[in-house]
Structure 1
Amino acid sequence: MFMFLQKISTRILLRFSLLLAGLLSYPAVFAAPTLIQTIDNALTAKCLNANRTAVNIVSLTTGRTVYSRNPQSPLLPASIMKLVTTAAALHYLGPEYRYKTKVLQTGRRLSDTLQGDLILMGGGDSKLLHTDLWQIAQDLKASGLNFVEGRLIADVSLFDGYDRAPTWDVERSQRPFDAKIGALSLDLNTVAVKLRPADKVGDPLNVWLEPAPAYMHIENRSTTAAKGNGTAGVRRIDDAQGVRIVVTGNLPQGDYERTVFVNVDDPSRYTIESFRTYLVKAGITVRGNTEITTVSPANARVIYEHESPPISLIIKEMNTYSSNFMAEQFIKTIAAEKVGKPATHLNGLKQVADFLQTHGINTQGVMLADGSGLSKQNQITARMMTDLLTAMHNRFDIGPDFVTSMRVMGAFGLHSNRFKNSAARAQVRAKTGTLNGVSTLAGYVPSNSGRNLYAYTILLNDNRCGYKGADDVEDQIVNALFTQGDDSALINANAQAAATP
């Protein structure tokens, strides 16, 4: 009896052992997906166009490509093109480069009177503010200047006459992102229209401009409403009588003050007329007319120089707000510094192309049409962008400034809500890009352990995902790099092959 039970027990144990061995022989059934599988799954979204989707990811720790899909396909970059401009600006100009706006005079100064012209010379400064012009005017007044017998001249000779990238559409909106460029620019070439409800229902809104040059006039057709969400709108009308800022609609009584930014049609005129306004306010009378010239006046000498913040700070602002205006100003500034004036987009973009090539960046299929990514003639590849990210990571002199120019995603900073509920919160450095049907993302992210650091580029062209849907795809990929990034030993053989020239 005992032997019979023992045989039964032995058989049961044997079967259990075989069953356990069988289970252990199929770990993939129960294992979590690998990093590559997670990325593959994210890219199965039905809203994506498989032939117009590209991803390239490089481990900066090992130098190996860990994931690659269509890495050499030329696609629209949208605003991640600004990373190319950022890198080129840092390379050619240096992090401590500062724009210079100069005040010059012709003739001679007798006591409190300048017997000659007063000249404001543009240096391409994308950060010149109306408060800077006011400070310049005050400083000139403090020097004892009360009268200018000659003209007030805007010298815009540094840049050529194009007020936009040549590949942009001629038709322009009045929104700030569509602002024109120029050697002499002010307040990002936008005017701030301030709106505040009146104390009494039915009265017009209180409206004023900052700055308020004399040639701009307010046409106030607005009212103060008893309640509601407000329908106030602003548009600019340029005609023979000057520039009219037309305000329509309403704001509810007791509502907060609002600011609407409208771009300006003539940046040079806007800047020099605003300067005249501040000279008058400071107590300096200019008796001559206002003129704009593309030829620097002979025998003029510098009497004042205003410097911008270093471009290490300007590029941070450019990439945070994705300023097209700042990016295009950089392209022409590079041209001015490396080739000479008048600076052109063509010369600036040639310098950018040279920068990419000298850094060994694969530019096959790449077309540079502007510095901002707004042009639909731009073409980059995912590999080109990760090559750039890798090269900049290895540049100790300018690499840190390049990295810090990108937003820290999810860190509750400005425009950083993405990834705020993610495990990768505050770990992701990224530049976003968006056009109709186009969503792009590029930057850096570490693995959770910190043992690996990745450079990634995601290009989703001709997608039907909408803004949020496209963001979700990109976020899944970047989150996987953070949470599963120590899976990097599982190198995709196809990725390795694609990375080989």
Structure 2
Amino acid sequence: MRTAMHRWYVLVTGLLLLPGLLPEGGEAQPLAPQIDSLLQERRAAHAFWGISIYDLERDSLLYGRNEDRGFLPASNQKLFTTAAALDLLGPEHRYETTLTFDGTTRDSVMQGDLRLVGSGDPTFGSTALARTDPLREWAERLAEMGVRRIEGRLVGDGQEFLDGFYPDGWSVNYLTRQKGQQMGVRAGGLSYRDNTVPVTVRATQPGAPPEVRIQPEGVLSVQNEAVTSERWRGSTLLINRTFSTNKIVLTGSVARSYGGVRNVPVSDPTAFTIRIFRERLRNAGIETDLELVNAAALEASSGEGELLFVHLSPLLSEIVEEINKQSNNFYAEQVLQTYGWGGSTRGGVRRTESFLRRAGIDTRALSLNDGSGLSRKNLVTPRSVRALLAHMDAHPAGDVFRRSLPRGGERGTTLRSRLGRTSVWAKTGSLAFIRGLSGYVERPGGGRVAFTLFANNYTGPSYQITHTMDDIVRLLAAPPPS
């Protein structure tokens, strides 16, 4: 019994001596000294920290550190994009993709121009929201209508977006190198399947190249320099795509047990989409003698023609949820160009800045270059992000915005393994040497706190930074000192 009592005494004494719990006098420390103590710990001291924490109910600043300094936000940039989209387009906004026909139909043969027109819908044929394939549905419906052959041109119209540019500050590796998760994908006014091609790779015999399969065939040209190794586990497979082409080169090795799919971005979304549609028509049993044409190359439109089909996207509220909960870079860039002046990235940035100024946020200290946060030329201040959160808390679309953020421990989101059983809704952000976490915390006594946490230029393990951020959030969610 004495041994058990001794252990209990040691445990309680040790807890009381932990920094920030119960200092001398037996009273809980105020929030600021507790956060300062966490940031002074070895795991956090090597980072450059920017923090802004605001009590929305009391309209008062709870903690600030480097609030007006510039930080790389990584995917916290998506907060600006999704908030601006909800304000400018509205939660009920839907994209339309149409198929028209300008020509004649005789018996079972269509002769003329099929025109596929996009409006920038990121969900068209997307794998992210697990919807049906609209191109397959349209092809099958044409076959059901009795069409057996189509002659003429298949015109792809992606002119809703200004074509030919990537956001300033993106690394070329985002677009050309596939080692793990795909990061950078080209936006397009007419896009399909997230503008990526699935490349299936399976091991063969040790010493031999792995098997590579691409559907549909011919979309990518392949140079396979990879090899199947003797190892049962552990692979170093790398897929490089030559910039602005659809040629990929496989290098490295795959284990004998390897089998997987990598999504490789395409260089021309419009050309990719109409090529897939022609393939879908053939799979539906329709003979085609279609010339594939980009509408941008035509001198003049031949007319709108007869409307055959219209595909509507999910509501913008669902799209925004995909962007923030999954940190979907492609969706973010598509949405930015959707509300952008002239359908461009630069136009999207300018409209974002205009929205922020209307919200009372000083944009002079900001450098915005994309919608997703991949650009290393982005700079934001903790104060500006916190002010955005406060503005959206009172916005008519505020509930939609808040619900779009991952909840602590929510499955299938970027917070799935963090902050479980904590009343927090927050957007994560991560690039090399960069971590961010911004959102809302519900306090036990009532009321909501908006917070922004940035750590830049750290040299230690990233998990130490995220653990520190999570500890700060837990402090915010703890009962306030009496």
Query: 2:200 matched to 1:194?
Result: yes
- 1:368 and 1:378 in contact (8 A); partners too: yes
Residues 1:233 and 2:237 are matched in the alignment: yes
Residue 238 of structure 1: CA displacement?
5.2
Task: Tell me the equivalent position of 2:95.
Answer: 99
1:58–1:343 distance in 2 versus 1, CA, 3 Å: same
* 1:281-430 aligned within 5 A: 281-294=283-296, 297-301=301-305, 302-335=307-340, 339=341, 342-395=342-395, 397-420=396-419, 425-430=421-426
Scaled by the length of structure 1, the TM-score of the pair is 0.81
Secondary structure in structure 2 of the residue aligned to 1:369: coil
SS across alignment from 1:287: strand
Measured after TM superposition, the shift of residue 55 of structure 1 is 0.9
Q: d(CA) in 1 for partners of 2:25 and 2:166? A: 57
Q: Which position in structure 1 is the counterpart of 2:183?
A: 177
Contact 1:213 1:273 in 2 (8 A): no
Counterpart-to-counterpart distance in 2, 1:68 and 1:50: 18
1:158 aligned residue: 160
Against the structure 1 CA distance between its residues 364 and 425, is the aligned structure 2 distance closer, same or farther, given a 3 Å change threshold? farther
Partner of 2:63: 67
| 1:444 positional shift | 0.7
Give the Å deviation of 1:315. Answer: 1.6
Distance change (3 Å), C-alpha of 1:401 and 1:226: same
Specify the SS of the correspondent of 2:136. helix
Secondary structure class of the residue paired with 2:320: helix
Between the aligned partners of 1:416 and 1:240, the Cα distance in structure 2 is 35
The aligned counterpart of 1:459 is 454
Correspondence list, 1:99-138, <5 A:
99-129=95-125, 131-138=133-140
Give 4+ residue runs of structure 1 displaced > 6 Å after superposition: 200-204, 221-226, 239-242
User: Is residue 2:476 matched to residue 1:474?
Assistant: no
> Once the two structures are superposed, what CA deviation does each residue of 1:18-50 show, in whole Å capped at 9, x if it has no partner?
xxxxxxxx9844333222211111222456579
Please, which runs of 5 or more residues in structure 2 have no aligned partner? 1-21, 127-132
User: How far apart are residue 215 of structure 1 and its match?
Assistant: 3.5
State the one-letter code of the partner of 1:428: V
Distance 1:241 1:479, change over 3 A: closer
- 2:177 is aligned with what amino acid? Q
Alpha-carbon RMSD across the aligned residues, in angstroms, is: 2.9
- After superposition, what is the alpha-carbon deviation per residue over 1:192-223, rounded to whole angstroms, capped at 9, x for unaligned? 2223456x8888755433x4153435566667
Q: Distance in 2 between matches of 1:277 and 1:164?
A: 28
Cα deviation, 1:369-411, whole Å, max 9, x if unaligned, reads 111111122121111111111111112x311111111111223
1:362 and 1:383 in contact (8 A); partners too: no
CA 1:232 to 1:168, structure 2 compared with 1: closer, same or farther past 3 Å? closer
Instruction: Give distance in 2, aligned partners of 1:88 and 1:233.
Output: 39
Match of 1:252 in 2: 256
TM-aligned CA deviation for residue 80 of structure 1: 0.2
| Identity rate, percent | 30
Q: Partners of 2:377 and 2:208 in 1: how far apart?
A: 49
The alignment covers a number of residue pairs equal to 448
Retained in 2: the 8 A contact 1:186–1:267?
Answer: yes
Question: Residue type of the partner of 2:471?
Answer: Q
SS in 1 for 2:355: helix
Q: What is the rounded CA distance, in whole Å, between the counterparts of 1:351 and 1:465 in structure 2?
A: 37
What SS class does the counterpart of residue 476 from structure 1 fall into?
Answer: helix
For 2:462 and 2:272, locate their aligned partners in 1 and report how far apart those are by CA, in whole Å.
Answer: 35
Give the Cα–Cα distance (whole angstroms) in 2 for the partners of residues 39 and 99 of structure 1: 44
Structure 2 counterpart of 1:363, one-letter code: T
Change (3 A) 1:240 1:345: closer
Distance (whole Å) between structure 2 residues aligned to residue 34 and residue 41 of structure 1: 11
Cα shift readout 1:130-170 (whole Å, capped 9, x = no counterpart): 72221221122223222222111111211112342134345
The answer (yes or no) to whether the contact 1:222–1:250 under 8 Å persists in 2 is yes
SS in structure 2 of the partner of residue 360 of structure 1 = coil
Cα-to-partner distance string for 1:347-373 (whole Å, 9 max, x where unaligned) = 211111111111222434122211111
Name the CA distance, whole Å, in 1 between partners of 2:246 and 2:466. Answer: 44
Deviation of 1:330 (Å)? 0.9
| Aligned 8 A contact 1:216 1:245 in 2 | no
1:20 matched to which residue of 2? Answer: none
Looking at structure 1, the residues matched to 165 and 134 of structure 2 have their Cα atoms a distance apart, in angstroms, of: 23
Paired position in structure 1 for 2:79: 83
Contact 1:166–1:345 under 8 Å retained in 2: no
Question: Partner amino acid for 1:63?
Answer: D
Q: Which has the larger radius of gyration?
A: 1
2:176–2:240: 8 Å Cα contact kept in structure 1? no
Determine the structure 1 residue equivalent to 2:220.
216
Pair 60,427 (structure 1): closer, same or farther in 2 beyond 3 Å: same
Decide whether the 8 Å contact of 1:174 with 1:264 is kept in 2: no
Secondary structure of residue in 2 paired with 1:289: strand
Do the aligned residues in 1 keep the contact of 2:385 with 2:452 (CA within 8 Å)? yes
Distance 1:215 1:432, change over 3 A: closer
**Secondary structure of 2:40's aligned partner:** coil
1:283 offset after TM fit, Å? Answer: 1.8
Q: For residues 336 and 33 of structure 2, what CA distance do their matches in structure 1 show?
A: 40
How far apart are residue 228 of structure 1 and its match?
0.7
SS of alignment partner, residue 400 of structure 1: helix
Specify the SS of the correspondent of 1:116.
strand
* Alignment correspondent of 2:9: none
Q: CA deviation at 1:89?
A: 0.8
8 Å CA contact retained: 1:205, 1:251: no
Q: Following the alignment from structure 1 to structure 2, what is the Cα–Cα distance between the partners of residues 85 and 434?
A: 17
Q: Work out the CA distance in 1 between the residues paired with 2:213 and 2:100.
A: 31
Greater displacement, 125-134 / 366-375: 125-134
Task: Pick closer, same or farther for the CA change 1:236–1:276 going to 2, 3 Å.
Answer: farther
